[in-house]
């Protein structure tokens, strides 16, 4: 693999050189005041990216999956009822985790390519007059299908049903790249990872807890040790962790939030939307369809592109890696072999996106799809020029 080429997978994303240098640092005493000068600005930066005034931020040496487990184990007990929709690979994995922890999960099946069924949520919550449902899970951006769901509409469903259930949101592939409003949307726990919108390597689970969920820590009885935020909070108060932290990654997180806030969050979101729109223009010019069934569901961080029946879409990603040293995402779960994915998030520019579009075109032509070289690139160029 030729490492100079950008990657076009939905994470890990391309890393700016300044962040690569920020995580490459000498060892320091992680119980010193110097570590506190890294830790606390990083936590405050995340809080601003989440657009929250009240959230408590916790960062674990882990991944987004560890963030899911942090949310569940710190607030729930075995047998608690959870409502979740299954509309893609990552919503399915969170459901599986709940079931393994002994939670009672009411699953709403939703076609892959569609968003969260908020109308169905409202019906179920309204019918739950005994308020047995403790938590509603929501995957903001389903990375397998390139579908973004309306989290404000999920909150509206809870409010319309006058239901006290908490709202936990997987924002792993959206936070830092697409608008996320923790306070405004009434999100009780928000989960992110270092390797996507924050433009860092894999290694940090980033979790925001609302004041309401902070009050549930002592009543929750699911087992937790490594992910116990009570221990983490005590450590933070003393500029420390309850165990050895990933100091370099935290220094990178501090700088990553500074970069995002310096660019301006709205500018970050606009950049992602513009780049994604260019990719979508290319897909249309190719005569192909996205997995997302309607424009209001199109993700600004990843596009899952369906290929014609009888064609193995995985071959595109394999061929791109073997011949052009470029990484695209393969289809996952129900869309495996039916779609390939172009990730367009994190440290990315219009010019970088054009190289990915051009490579995808070459691969599809090489593999015999009826696509003319240059049509997708030209469509994206017109959009970027405008």
Question: Do 125 and 76 belong together in one domain?
Answer: yes
Same domain, yes or no, for 258 and 325? no
**DSSP-assigned letter for residue 370:** S
Asked if residue 3 belongs to a domain, the reply is no
Q: Tokens representing 102?
A: 């002994």
Answering whether pTM is above 0.95, one says yes
> 183 CB contacts (<8 Å, ≥6 apart)?
51, 52, 53, 54, 55
Indicate whether 1 belongs to any domain. Answer: no
Residues 352 and 303 in one domain: yes
- Domain count along the chain: 2
Residues 221 and 174 occupy one common structural domain: yes
Q: At what angle do helices 350-366 and 375-385 cross, to 10 degrees?
A: 170
* pLDDT values of the chain reduced to their tens digit, one per residue, 386 residues: 567 899 999 999 999 999 999 999 999 988 888 999 999 999 999 999 999 999 999 999 999 999 999 999 999 999 999 999 999 999 999 999 999 999 999 999 999 999 999 999 999 999 999 999 999 999 999 999 999 999 999 999 999 999 999 999 999 999 999 999 999 999 999 999 999 999 999 999 999 999 999 999 999 999 999 999 999 999 999 999 999 999 999 999 999 999 999 999 999 999 999 999 999 999 999 999 999 999 999 999 999 999 999 999 999 999 999 999 999 999 999 999 999 999 999 999 999 999 999 999 999 999 999 999 999 999 999 999 99
Report the C-alpha gap between 291 and 302 in whole angstroms.
11
Same domain, yes or no, for 286 and 169? no
CA separation for the pair 175, 269 (Å, rounded): 10
By the 8 A CB rule, do 113 and 147 touch? yes
Do 177 and 313 have their domain in common?
A: no
Shared-domain flag, residues 285 and 311: yes
In a domain, 11, yes or no: no
- Report yes or no on 168 lying in a domain: yes
Phi first, then psi: give them for residue 304, nearest 5 degrees. Answer: -95, 120
Q: By residue range, what is the domain housing residue 376?
A: 265-385
**What is the edge-to-edge ordering of all strands in the sheet holding 56-61?**
56-61, 204-209, 189-193, 166-170, 133-139, 81-86, 104-109
Is-cis flag, bond preceding 12, omega within 30? yes
* Same-domain status, 279 and 345: yes
User: Quick one: 99 and 225 in the same domain?
Assistant: yes
Cβ atoms of 165 and 125 within 8 Å: the answer is yes
Torsion of CA 121, 126, 127, 130, to 10 degrees: 120
Where does residue 57 rank: exposed (0-12), middle (13-18), buried (19+ CB within 10 A)?
buried
Residue 93 domain-assigned? yes
CATH code of residue 277: 3.90.1150.10
232 and 326 fall within a common domain:
no
Residue ending a domain, choose from 262, 295, 321: 262
Q: Which of 230, 262, 294 lies at the terminal end of a domain, its last residue?
A: 262
SS3 label, residue 139: strand
Block residue for tokens 């995808």: 360
Residues 139 and 32 in one domain: yes
In a domain, 140, yes or no: yes
């Amino acid at each position: 693999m030729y490492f100079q080429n950008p990657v076009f997978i939905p994470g890990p994303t391309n890393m700016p050189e300044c962040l690569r240098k920020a995580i490459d640092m000498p060892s320091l005493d992680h119980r010193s005041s110097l570590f506190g000068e890294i830790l606390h600005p990083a936590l405050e930066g995340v809080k601003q990216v989440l657009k929250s005034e009240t959230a408590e931020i916790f960062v674990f040496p882990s991944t987004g999956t560890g963030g899911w487990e942090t949310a569940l184990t710190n607030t729930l007990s075995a047998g608690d009822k959870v409502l979740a929709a299954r509309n893609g690979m990552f919503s399915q994995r969170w459901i599986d985790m709940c079931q393994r922890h002994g939670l009672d999960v009411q699953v709403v099946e939703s076609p892959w390519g569609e968003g969260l069924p908020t109308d169905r949520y409202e019906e179920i919550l309204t019918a739950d007059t005994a308020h047995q449902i403790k938590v509603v899970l929501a995957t903001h951006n389903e990375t397998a299908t390139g579908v973004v769901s309306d989290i404000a509409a999920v909150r509206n469903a809870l409010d319309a049903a006058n239901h006290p259930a908490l709202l936990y949101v997987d924002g792993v592939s959206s936070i830092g790249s697409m608008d996320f409003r923790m306070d405004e949307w009434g999100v009780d726990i928000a989960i992110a990872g270092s390797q996507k919108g924050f433009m860092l390597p894999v290694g940090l689970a980033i979790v925001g807890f609302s004041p309401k969920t902070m009050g549930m820590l002592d009543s929750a009885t699911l087992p937790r040790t490594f992910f116990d935020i009570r221990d983490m909070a005590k450590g933070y108060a003393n500029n420390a962790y309850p165990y050895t932290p990933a100091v370099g990654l935290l220094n990178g997180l501090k700088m990553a939030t500074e970069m995002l806030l310096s660019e301006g969050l709205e500018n970050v979101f606009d950049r992602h939307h513009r780049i994604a729109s260019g990719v979508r223009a290319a897909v249309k010019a190719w005569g192909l369809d996205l997995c997302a069934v309607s424009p209001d569901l199109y993700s600004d961080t990843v596009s899952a592109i369906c290929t014609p029946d009888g064609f193995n879409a995985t071959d595109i990603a394999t061929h791109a890696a073997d011949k052009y040293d470029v990484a695209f995402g393969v289809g996952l779960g129900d869309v495996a072999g039916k779609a390939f994915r172009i990730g367009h998030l994190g440290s990315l520019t219009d010019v970088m996106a054009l190289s990915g579009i051009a490579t995808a075109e070459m691969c599809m032509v090489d593999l015999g799809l009826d696509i003319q070289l240059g049509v997708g690139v030209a469509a994206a160029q017109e959009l970027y020029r405008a």
